[in-house]
Structure 1
Amino acid sequence: MADGTSLDERLAGLATDGRQGAAPMAAELIRARGDRRRRRKRAARASGGVLLAAAVVVGGLSLLRPASEPAPTAADPSPSVSAPRFVAPTPAPGEEYASELGYVYDAVDVGGGRVRVTVQQLRDEKGRAVPTGVVHDLTLPAVTPVEVERLAGGEPGDKRLEDVVGRLRAGPQWAFALDYDGEGRVQSLREAHWLTVG
């Protein structure tokens, strides 16, 4: 009986020692996790600052880079130097696309699955389309997605550029938001039905 009691006491003592040893271990793990979390936050903040600094430097360099004057074409031997030049919009940090508002017109199927259009850039002034003076040509894949509403008779829908070439052959009439990716390529056109044009 005395042996049984001493065995119970020993087991109880071992259990107490185990609990005391386990508590500091758990606290140590929690502390280590907290340290890792703080290090990750510091690293994320530091890398975010580096990316922001790089974006500012690249943006500043692109503004300081001398603009190369395009050679005059045979159709227009003396282009106006006073007309603003087109610069493809670039997505803001964290954004997938950047948009340009403009009349899209003079659409021509140039073959090879491509369509050439003229874009007269607009700005939105309290819901009214106001020309900026920038006009440029784009040659786009004929399958470029186009969201239409008024162009389709008031019925919202999705088309391809090749489906609306006939409607876009005339002069400036239909306003669109052109979505550019980070490499300056147009990914889609969305009819700017929210703008008052004309």
Structure 2
Amino acid sequence: MVDETSLDDHLAGLAAEGRRFAVPLAAEQIRVRGDRRRRRKRAARMSGGVLLAAAVAVGGLSLARPGPESAPTAVKPTPSRSAPQFVPPTPSPGDEYASELGYVYNAMVVEDAVQVTVEQLRTERGTAVPTGVVHQVTLSPQTPVEVEQVAGGKAGDVPLGELVDRLRDGPRWVFAVDYDGEGRIQSLREASWLTVSERQQKP
């Protein structure tokens, strides 16, 4: 009986001793893990701040340094290289001609021919709108031109050579330019059915 009591006391003493050492050990591990977490967070914040500062610095330098493609200021505009190029219209199957609508102006006599500028147009609700395509053509003075307003309201056909003075300035007069299957201009027809905005006309 005495031995059992002594054994119980001894075991109880061992358990108490174990708890006394175990509690501080567990608390120390918790403190160490907490310190590690705080150091990791601090390191992450510091590295993130450094990366952000570097990104801002690089971005600021890239913004401050003008790129090679930045548009110059106060420079006279030049024609765009990507402007659409003129392609002669092609007649549809069964049609003799295909027509291009455009202002015809800058007429001048060049040796035995007449040179004119054609500014291509499209129609929107019966109104002429420029497409951005401008080209020059050289025609025979005998090219037939169907006119009305250009001839003072009198409808008829006249050779192009007789209209050089009327078509010298522009843009003003709108014509349908008729092309054959070879891309050659066969005639011009005044597009008197179109409404031309006054701001697009040059007296």
Tell me the TM-score normalized by structure 1: 0.59
- Is 1:176 the counterpart of 2:197? The answer is no
Q: Secondary structure at the match of 2:183?
A: coil
Structure 2 partner of 1:93: 93
Equivalent position amino acid for 1:159 in 2: V
- Determine the C-alpha separation between the residues in 1 that align with 2:179 and 2:171: 21
Cα 1:88–1:165, aligned 2, differ >3 Å: closer, same or farther? Answer: same
Cα deviation for residue 82 of structure 1 reads: 2.0
Structure 2 partner of 1:71: none
- Give CA deviations for 1:115-170 in whole Å, capped at 9, x if unaligned: 00000000111210000000000001110000000101111011000010000000
Higher alpha-carbon Rg: 2
- Determine the C-alpha separation between the residues in 1 that align with 2:136 and 2:180: 17
- Is 1:186 the counterpart of 2:175? The answer is no
Q: Secondary structure at the match of 1:103?
A: strand
- Determine the C-alpha separation between the residues in 2 that align with 1:121 and 1:143: 23
- Is 1:148 the counterpart of 2:147? The answer is yes
Any gaps of 5 or more consecutive residues in structure 1? 1-77
Cα deviation for residue 79 of structure 1 reads: 5.4
- Determine the C-alpha separation between the residues in 2 that align with 1:167 and 1:125: 26
- Is 1:103 the counterpart of 2:103? The answer is yes
Cα deviation for residue 83 of structure 1 reads: 1.2
Q: Secondary structure at the match of 1:197?
A: coil
Equivalent position amino acid for 1:109 in 2: V
1:152-171 matches, within 5 Å, as: 152-171=151-170
Tell me the TM-score normalized by structure 2: 0.58
Q: Considering only aligned residues, what root-mean-square deviation do their CA atoms show, in Å? A: 1.1
Q: Secondary structure at the match of 2:164?
A: coil
- Determine the C-alpha separation between the residues in 1 that align with 2:79 and 2:138: 20
Q: Which stretches of structure 1, 4 residues or more, deviate above 4 A after TM superposition?
A: none
Q: Secondary structure at the match of 2:150?
A: helix
Any gaps of 5 or more consecutive residues in structure 2? 1-77, 198-203
Structure 2 partner of 1:131: 130
